[in-house]
Structure 1
Amino acid sequence: MWQIMKRRMSPLAVTGATIFMIIQVIANLSLPRYTADIVNKGIANGDIGLIQHYGMIMLGISLIGILAAAGNVFLASRVSQGLGRDLRNDIFTKVVNYSNDEFDEVGTSSLITRTTNDVLQIQNVVMMMLRMMIMAPITLIGASFLAYQRDHQLTTIFLYVIPIMFIVIGGLMFFAVPLFKKMQKLTDALNLVFREGLTGVRVIRAFRRDKFELNRFDTANANYTNNALRVYSIVAGMIPLMTLIMSGTNVGITWMGANLIANQTTQTGNMIAFMTYAMQILFSFMMLSMVFVFVPRAQAAAVRINEVLNLETKITDPAKPLPLTAEHISLKFDHVNYRYRSAEKLALTDINVDMQAGQTLAIIGGTGSGKSTLINLIPRLYDVESGAVEVNGLDVRQVSTAALRDQISLVPQKALLFKGNLRDNMKYGNENASDDDIWRALEIAQAADFIKADQGLDTVVEQGGNNFSGGQKQRLAIARALVKDAAIYVFDDSFSALDFKTDAKLRQNLKEDPKMKEKIVVIVGQRVSTVASADEILVLDNGNMAGYGSHEQLMQDSPVYQDIVASQIRKAGTENG
């Protein structure tokens, strides 16, 4: 946890908060002394002037204590909230640069929990540390010294009280700390089920699995709730137990003090001051115990955050990246092999492709054949195990990822739009795009008609693009990719929701557009009609090349491609029949 805090907290603000807290503690410790003097000297002698004099001094000290407390809270809040802000920013920056392998390893729901709940635990503990952890030990030491100075005979009461407090606090921590650590994992599990339930609500309804998912959520929710009830019941039990100990201490001090006063070995004011110091000592123990209960949970959160921050991504920029330009556009897979992290079998084996500007590469194959995996190697979302992926004549590992991805425009399988308006979505890959550029892309993508029928480029886009149909979202995602001025355009099964007429028209527009004639287009498709007109077709079968060439060549040389064509012809015939 210290590793997280030391680089993200202002030393000046922490020092200021500490100084203000020391002033507050000194003010608090000074008041009982004046209370004793008022009783011993003012009330006992009937000296009203002395009482008023000491009363004004106490008011001044109280005012100083209040101002110091306000300063401490202000600075402690700035430090803790600033720490949370910087920590969330660092986590997000780190996660944005993750490769797909790291995303798969940590998990989206866990990343959300670590960015929100775990950071909040550390913020709360930092606030407690700058308040309680500074106040408690200073108050404990100061109050103990002043109490002994007032009446050392009464201090014997602590020989009985403090061991009892240690036993009570130690017992509570023994049971509470493991439960606090467990809460973070249960929060992960709850977020996972909740997120899957929200994102998969249509699938759940389609398969009528509402009760199953409700039971699944109820189980995760009940596990979290039961754990929280246990741990907070234990923590809540601390307050009545401490109150009982404090009340017993007051009774003991009163009983011992009364005997000492009767024997004229102490004064009434001293006993009153001693009782105040005793309460401060016991409250200090209670504050320390609260800190030590919550610190382990924050420590567990810090470990989880450090796992995210310290996770080394496979995708790193070279020390001296080579400049990547679009002067000679090309795409080459040179004996590419790829294996998923911890997998025994290669996902892609010995893939060889060579494409030049103006050509279209289509990739087809069965489900799980490695189509999406292959195209994810182009923008370095994954890195090859052996071989090389070359863009514009350079190995993608020899250039910076920023420069590489500037040359690539990718449409992923799932069409995702961002909340806002259509113009902002279209400019996502090219901030300098004009309205004419956007309309050109919309025309090519067969999306201009329904956008004109709405509010044009000011059309509102709901979260995830939920106010558009699946086919409309795909066309808008394609248009967004076309707005970007790139060397290589990759469409990962991006025509799947389009009807045959729209699909054919869109591909024709891509081929006839003057700008696109100078680029490389990569299309991943399931339908033969989508890929048949490509210059080169790569057929994948379980990660292996099962054919490479034009449609006509593959119809003669590739049994796998022939089977795909035959199966789609049979399917079309059955549907027509």
Structure 2
Amino acid sequence: MLVSLTWDYLRHHKGKVAAVLVLQLLQSIASLLLPALNAAIIDDGVIAADIPRIWQLGGLMLVVTVLQVLAIGAAIYVGAGLAMGLGHHLRAEVFGKVQSFGRSELHHFGPASLITRSTNDVSQVQMVVHMTFTIIVMAPIMGVGGIIMAAAQDVVLSGLFVIIVPVLGLFTFGMMVRLGPLYKVQQTRVDTINRLLREQLTGVRVIRAFLRQHAQKMRFREANDNMREVWLKIGTTWAFMLPVIQMIVGLSSVAIVWFGGHRIADGGMQVGALLAFINYLMQILMAIMMAAMMFMMVPRARVSADRIGAVLNTAVDIEAPVDPTPLPPSPAAFAAENATVQYDDADRPVLDSLSLTLTPGTTTAIVGGTGSGKTTLVHLLSRMVDPVSGSVTLGGIDIRSFDPTLLRTRIALVPQKAYLFAGTIASTITGTRGDVDVDEERVWAALDAAQATEFVAKLDDGLASRVDPGGRNLSGGQRQRLTIARALYRAMAGDVDLVIFDDSFSALDFATDQRLRHALPSAIPGAAVLIVAQRISTIRTADRIVVVDGGRDVGQGTHEELMKTCTTYQEIVSSQLSEEEAA
């Protein structure tokens, strides 16, 4: 997976990849030439007292060194650019794939794991690619070239490599086998840490309100201890590996000096050749150590690549058909016909044989107890889930025949949880960024219908006022009204057939709630309105009220009709209103 994942990007940049290989080859050849030139200076220049020869060889060494510096600098620059580009590409691919996920895919991975995969895992793959272009490409050239150049200095002494190289290689392979599973466990425990942090930061108020600080602290401590345990094992392995490698290198140097000294004493080798041989040994061992370092990093990157690949290769349940049907002209009616929704991990349907029609220009309300399937109906209409039986249609055509992205352009949704993106009031409502011109008249019209004009007009910068991520610098009611204005801004363009308010009035006071509902018909006259609510006062004036209980439709009609025919509705009303208010 690591190779295929990186090659999908690198094959489009073959020129840069070839440039890195050529530059690394040049700098490796230059590195291999330097010890030989140094040996020639000692043997042909210093010992022979030939000053011109020393200047000649010294100048050549200087040229080779400059060439080496330029080549390695250019290789690192181009290689780093390729690695950064790969990271950018992978993050964009993961983000785009996650945007296509439905409920089941998001539930399978979990937000914490998806965050880790798009950040930490991508960084691991990016780092390995960077190290590949700067180290692993050079390592085999330095290793093989060093052996050849050392043999050229003295064939007999190079026989020591038959012992040194296999010993170092076997030790490195053993360390790689041990570290691979540890890195896999490490990434899983990073997921756990991220999940707990996300839960505790999101629910910090609830934790404090119910005095659960100690329990949450113990949960995090356990996860942190598990993380520390695997990090200690990895660190201990590295701490053991590096001194052993240094010991092998030191013993190898001692052996070469010992046997090389005897070769010089016997006249079979010159002093400069011995120094060159020692330098080549260092280069060979350095190449093996660089390869070992890569072998240590590759298992972790391979695990990360597998995790990224699992996201990218996930088959999405809800996809656009190969030949999507064009959307019908607006306005068109959404309708559910005996629609049943049951999740894979549920033992009964969330929605059971539900039927309703959302005609343009009308207001339909959904009411029911917690867990009765109201929000699932919202997901069904926007095709975030598909029915296991029955159908949902737009203009009489099954919505599964449309491109989901285009289908959702016909829906303006105010979600159950008000969330605002960072930017300004104008960018939050219009969804634009940068210097894009916005229709301020339409923005103010949406704010006016959402009952947000008063507080926005009081802000010092008006529509240019800053909005923090999530709308943290605004009150709950202000966030709610801006979220509603965002949906109304889209609906006012005239190409939206359905505006959904998923329990979106809970943060509003009764007076604001009433004014907003009265403003809706004139603000979006051509669209159907679906209101999901708990408050009877919010939905009692709707053209049609649908009562759901346990996922089943137990009654449809106006408020007056349901008060006479639907027991469930009567119970909901009696729990909120007096007999005089309900009449």
TM-score category by the smaller chain?
Answer: over 0.9
Paired residues for 1:237-256 under 5 Å: 237-256=240-259
User: 1:475 corresponds to which residue?
Assistant: 481
Alignment of 1:133-152 (within 5 A): 133-152=136-155
Residues 429 and 483, structure 1, Cα contact 8 Å, conserved in 2: no
- In 2, the alpha carbon distance for the partners of 1:557 and 1:385 equals 30
The equivalent of 1:306 in structure 2 is 309
1:32–1:277 contact (8 Å) kept in structure 2:
yes
1:75-114 C-alpha deviation (Å, 9 max, x unpaired): 1101111100111111111111222221121111111101
Are the equivalent residues in 2 in contact too, given 1:429–1:480 (CA < 8 A)? no
User: Which residue number corresponds to residue 469 of structure 2?
Assistant: 463
Q: Show the counterpart of 1:490.
A: 500
CA-CA distance at 1:194 after TM superposition = 1.1
**Alignment partner of 1:335 out of 334, 338, 344:** 338
Aligned to 1:402: 405
1:510-533 CA-partner distances (Å, limit 9, x unpaired):
13x1x4232200000001111111
Query: Superposition pairs for residues 240-319 of structure 1, below 5 Å?
Result: 240-319=243-322
1:523 equivalent in alignment to 2:531: yes
In the alignment, the residues of structure 2 paired with residue 56 and residue 128 of structure 1 have an alpha-carbon distance, to the nearest angstrom, of 32
- Matched letter for residue 50 of structure 2: D
Q: Structure 1: how far apart are the matches of 2:86 and 2:66?
A: 30
For 1:483, give the aligned amino acid: Y
Query: Which residue of 2 is the match for residue 38 of structure 1?
Result: 41
CA distance in 2, matches of 1:110, 1:173: 25
Q: Secondary structure at the match of 1:388?
A: strand
Residue 326 (structure 2) aligns with = 323
Partner of 1:66: 69
Task: Name the residue aligned to 1:443.
Answer: 448
Alignment of 1:415-426 (within 5 A): 415-426=418-429
Q: Distance in 2 between matches of 1:425 and 1:369?
A: 32
Match of 1:560 among 568, 571, 580: 568
1:421 corresponds to which letter in structure 2? T
Q: 2:551 — aligned with what?
A: 543
Q: Secondary structure at the match of 1:522?
A: strand
Report % sequence identity: 38
Read off the aligned partner of 1:441 and give its amino acid letter.
A
Residue 6 (structure 2) aligns with = 5
What is the rounded CA distance, in whole Å, between the counterparts of 1:479 and 1:266 in structure 2? 87
Instruction: For residue 220 of structure 1, report the CA deviation from its aligned partner.
Output: 2.0
Alignment partner of 1:393 out of 393, 396, 410: 396
Q: How many angstroms does 1:570 deviate by?
A: 6.6
The CA deviation at 1:393 is 2.9
Contact 1:328 1:393 in 2 (8 A): no
Q: For residues 166 and 328 of structure 1, do their structure 2 counterparts lie closer, same or farther at Cα, with a shift above 3 Å needed? A: closer
Distance 1:306 1:342, change over 3 A: same
Q: Distance in 1 between matches of 2:437 and 2:329?
A: 19
Contact 2:330/2:497, CA 8 A, preserved across alignment:
no
Q: Which residue of 2 aligns with 1:108?
A: 111
The offset of 1:412, in angstroms, is: 0.4
Cα separation, 2, equivalents of 1:186 and 1:150: 52
Distance (whole Å) between structure 2 residues aligned to residue 458 and residue 69 of structure 1 = 49
Displacement of 1:215: 2.5
Q: Give the one of 151, 154, 158 matched to 1:155.
A: 158
Separation in 2, partners of 1:447, 1:210: 37
In 1: Cα distance, 2:285 partner to 2:580 partner: 83
- Which ranges of structure 1 fall in alignment gaps of 5 or more residues? none
Describe the superposition over 1:30-64 as per-residue Cα deviations: whole angstroms up to 9, x where unpaired: 11111111121111111111111111111111111
When structure 1 is superposed on structure 2, of 8-17 and 425-434 the one drifting more is 425-434
Deviation at 1:15, TM superposition (A): 0.8
Residues 572/185 of structure 1: CA separation in 2 closer, same or farther (3 Å cut): farther
1:17-37, Cα deviation, whole Å (9 max, x unpaired): 011101111111111111111
Q: Per the alignment, do residues 259 and 572 of structure 1 end up closer, same or farther by CA in structure 2, a change over 3 Å counting? A: farther
Give the equivalent residue in structure 2 for 1:176: 179
Distance in 1 between residues matched to 2:376 and 2:129, nearest whole Å: 44
Paired AA for residue 529 in structure 1: S
Give the TM-score of the pair, scaled to structure 1: 0.95
State the distance in 2 between where 1:78 and 1:357 align.
Answer: 53
Change (3 A) 1:475 1:326: farther
Give 1:569 shift.
3.0
| Paired amino acid for 2:565 | D
* 8 Å CA contact 2:331, 2:497 repeated in 1: no
**Structure 1 vs Structure 2 CA RMSD:** 1.9
For 2:198 and 2:549, the matched residues in 1 are separated by 33
- 2:531 corresponds to which letter in structure 1? I
Counterpart of 1:448, as a letter, is: T
Quote the residue 1:508 is aligned against: 518
Query: 1-side partners of 2:52 and 2:380: how far apart?
Result: 87
The Cα shift of 1:424 comes to 0.8
Once the 2 structures are TM-superposed, how far is the Cα of residue 359 of structure 1 from its aligned partner?
1.0
Deviation at 1:496, TM superposition (A): 0.9
**Structure 1: how far apart are the matches of 2:470 and 2:58?**
65
**TM-score between both structures, scaled by the size of structure 2:** 0.94
How many Å apart are 1:566 and its aligned residue? Answer: 1.7
Query: CA, structure 1 residues 53+433, in 2 after alignment: closer, same or farther (shift >3 Å)?
Result: closer
Shift of 1:164: 2.8
Q: 1:164 to 1:403 in 2, by over 3 A?
A: closer
CA contact 2:363–2:542 (8 Å) conserved in 1: yes
Letter in 2 for 1:559: T
| Superposition deviation, residue 131 in structure 1 | 2.0
Change (3 A) 1:99 1:546: same
Number of residue pairs aligned between Structure 1 and Structure 2: 571
SS of the counterpart of 1:67?
A: helix
CA deviations 1:445-481 (Å, max 9, x no partner) are 1211111122321222112111111122111111111
The answer (yes or no) to whether the contact 2:500–2:530 under 8 Å persists in 1 is yes
Mapped partners of 1:356, 1:501: distance in 2: 27
8 Å contact kept, 2:358–2:529: no
SS for the counterpart of 1:569 is coil
